[in-house]
């Protein structure tokens, strides 16, 4: 796998700026729209579970599961940005991920934050 398959995040000049901080240097929060989130649930693939079980015996990274989790997080973030944009936001503050098991059938990933309208100072 290449490095692009392990990461995510935004490119340069995003339409909706997503940050983990409560403030953005050089910007003023003109309006707080409120909480937004993007959610996705991925089922487990039987083949990857078997491979993961075998790999856990000898140690090392579970590359198939890593790639799946990255894709899942990116999808949740895309949905978060779509929701914020549809509500008129151009920023999301206090961005976080929450990952939980979903009834032993998959993994739930929720990307969430506070949608805001930012203006340059």
CA torsion angle 100 38 92 9 (round to 10): 80
Predicted local confidence at residue 45, as pLDDT = 57
pTM of the complete model: 0.80
* Token pair of 99 as six digits: 């990952």
Predicted local confidence at residue 56, as pLDDT = 59
Predicted local confidence at residue 8, as pLDDT = 74
Predicted local confidence at residue 89, as pLDDT = 98
Predicted local confidence at residue 59, as pLDDT = 67
Predicted local confidence at residue 7, as pLDDT = 73
What is the DSSP secondary-structure string of 32-65?
EEEEEEEEEEEEPPHHHHHHHHHHHHH-S--HHH
> pLDDT truncated to tens, each residue of the chain (121 aa)?
455 666 777 888 889 999 999 999 999 999 999 999 999 998 865 555 555 555 555 667 777 777 888 888 999 999 999 999 999 999 999 999 998 887 777 888 999 999 999 999 9
Predicted local confidence at residue 118, as pLDDT = 98
């Amino acid at each position: 796998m290449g490095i692009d398959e392990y990461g995510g995040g935004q490119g340069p000049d995003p339409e909706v700026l997503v940050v983990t901080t409560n403030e953005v240097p050089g910007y003023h929060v003109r309006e707080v729209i409120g909480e937004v989130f993007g959610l996705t649930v991925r089922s487990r693939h039987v083949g990857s579970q078997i491979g993961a079980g075998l790999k856990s015996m000898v140690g090392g990274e579970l590359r198939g599961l890593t790639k799946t989790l990255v894709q899942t997080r990116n999808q949740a973030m895309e949905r978060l940005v779509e929701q914020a944009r549809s509500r008129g936001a151009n920023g999301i503050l206090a961005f976080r991920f929450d990952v939980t098991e979903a009834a032993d059938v998959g993994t739930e990933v929720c990307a969430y934050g506070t949608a805001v309208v930012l203006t340059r100072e």
